[in-house]
Structure 1
Amino acid sequence: MPSSGAFFASSWSGGKDGCFARWVSSQSGAKPACLLTMLKEGEQRTSAHGLHQDVLQAQADCLGTPIIFGSAGFGGYEQGLKKALATAIDEYSVSHLAFGDIDLDAHKDWYDRILEETAIQTCYPLWHYDRKQLLKDMFSAGQETMIVSVKNESLDQSFLGQILTPSLADEIEAKGICPTGEEGDFHSLVINGPDFKQPLSVKKADIWQDDWGHSVLELSPA
């Protein structure tokens, strides 16, 4: 957890875990300075969620927080991330980068190694948070989340565009899928929450297929 008064950036995909980690950190007294999103090189989309840069910019505007967009191609992620982090330090005096990871050790170890070579410390406000309790706390805090991508072998396209509610989480769990999506079975976009200045409005368009077996709902700012 960032220390009270520290300026922190949030590792940002637009999804529920990173957004809630930002909220939890700010509740401890740390100061959210900016969001940091890595895009695919030559494109204006995130890799995992397939979200367009315009949607993430609109989301950042709803939060009243600046967003830094880095980019990286195959094999160049570390260099691209470090460049974006240098911007966060120079422009926003950031000392920590907050992640929404819960219990994936390999992911945590990888980022810890990368950031050891920078002036920024990693922090994981949701680390070892009970998954079911995490969802309950998100709902209680008023975080509103839309499902925007599903793994085809796990969930069908009918889940795309739905708001994650307790009843929908139960439906997902009944299919043998973790309702938090921590195994990558679905990805999300937060459209409202306790730290939003106003809700994010989006327009839904076509569904397309990414290169990793996911159906992705095309969105744009409304």
Structure 2
Amino acid sequence: MNEMDRPPTQVLLSWSSGKDSAWALHRLRQDPDFEVVGLFCTLNQAFERVAMHGVRRELLQRQAQCVGLPLTEIMLPWPCSNEEYARIMGEFVAGVRARGITHMAFGDLFLEDVRAYREQQLASTGITALFPLWGSDTRLLAREMMAAGLRAHISTLDPGKLPASLGGHGFDEALLAALPADVDPCGERGEFHTLAVDGPMFLRPLEILVGETVIRDGFVFTDLLPADAINPPPG
């Protein structure tokens, strides 16, 4: 079999529900050497929401349908110790490898410690970590995403870095203009997290409503809801 006849490498993509995961999917789908065959996401079992992003499980499931990929949900207890996390993720990775999948992709941009941790966790598993967005200039990347039609809303933010009033705000030029100078345009240092709702990686848009914003555990969470929610937020 020559290089031209070799089938693409099957990849599972770490899926946070946010813009960077969505853009990583877009990049991988543009590369004929890879085929994204599924998504995986960690959720807080007690609240049934995506870890850190605070996105409702129902929205996550609908989002996966909108991008046309099967989703594996990894439920984490709350609170979750480092040992428990390592055990749960280790069991998941072992199951992935047993399926014959050898590559997992992540949407990390430039945090060396995060990349090193992922590579260390996978080092002895037979799984290779891919980072399709690695080293991107986030000022350019943010505008590249927007120009391509990616749409997202802030689901979580750090009020020590951003005004709470930006909760639920769209990921757009107005947001970039409102960001303090020391905040990364893609929120890579945890300044904010998003829910992606449309873009070139979507088969159809994820329709949502922007609900109430609350402060919990030192972070600002905006409740994003399905557009057909029975009790939509006022206004």
Structures share a fold, TM > 0.5? yes
Q: 2:11 is matched with which residue? A: 8
Q: Is the 8 A contact 2:155 2:193 kept in 1?
A: yes
Choose 189-198 or 33-42, whichever is displaced more. Answer: 33-42
The aligned residue for residue 231 of structure 2 is none
Q: Return closer, same or farther for 1:107/1:121 CA change in 2, 3 Å cut-off.
A: same
Give the equivalent residue in structure 2 for 1:45: 49
Aligned pair in 2 of structure 1 residues 169, 204: CA closer, same or farther (>3 Å)? same
1:192 maps onto 2:198 in alignment = yes
Find the aligned partners of 1:101 and 1:94 in 2 and give their Cα distance. 20
Of 144, 148, 152 in structure 2, the residue corresponding to residue 145 of structure 1 is 152
Matched, 1:83 2:91: yes
| Pairing of 1:1-222 with structure 2 (within 5 A) | 5-29=8-32, 30-72=34-76, 73-75=80-82, 76-90=84-98, 93-174=100-181, 176-211=182-217, 213-222=218-227
Instruction: State the identity as a percent.
Output: 29
Q: Deviations over 1:81-126 (max 9, x none)?
A: 22233444456x4321111111111111111011113232101111
Within 1, Cα distance between the matches of 2:7 and 2:141?
Answer: 22
- Compute the RMSD of aligned alpha carbons: 1.9
Q: Does structure 2 retain, via aligned residues, the 8 Å contact 1:207–1:217?
A: yes
Task: Letter of the 1:216 partner, please give it.
Answer: F
Q: Which moved more, 1:3-12 or 1:129-138?
A: 3-12
User: Which ranges of structure 2 fall in alignment gaps of 5 or more residues?
Assistant: 1-5, 228-235
Normalised TM-score (structure 1): 0.90
* Superposed displacement of residue 78, structure 1: 1.8
What TM-score does the superposition give when structure 2 sets the normalisation length?
0.85
The separation in 1 between residues aligned to 2:46 and 2:148, in whole angstroms, is 37
Q: Tell me, yes or no, if the aligned pair for 2:162 and 2:191 is still in contact at 8 Å.
A: yes
Partners of 1:69 and 1:84 within 8 A in 2 = no
Question: Larger radius of gyration, structure 1 or 2?
Answer: 2
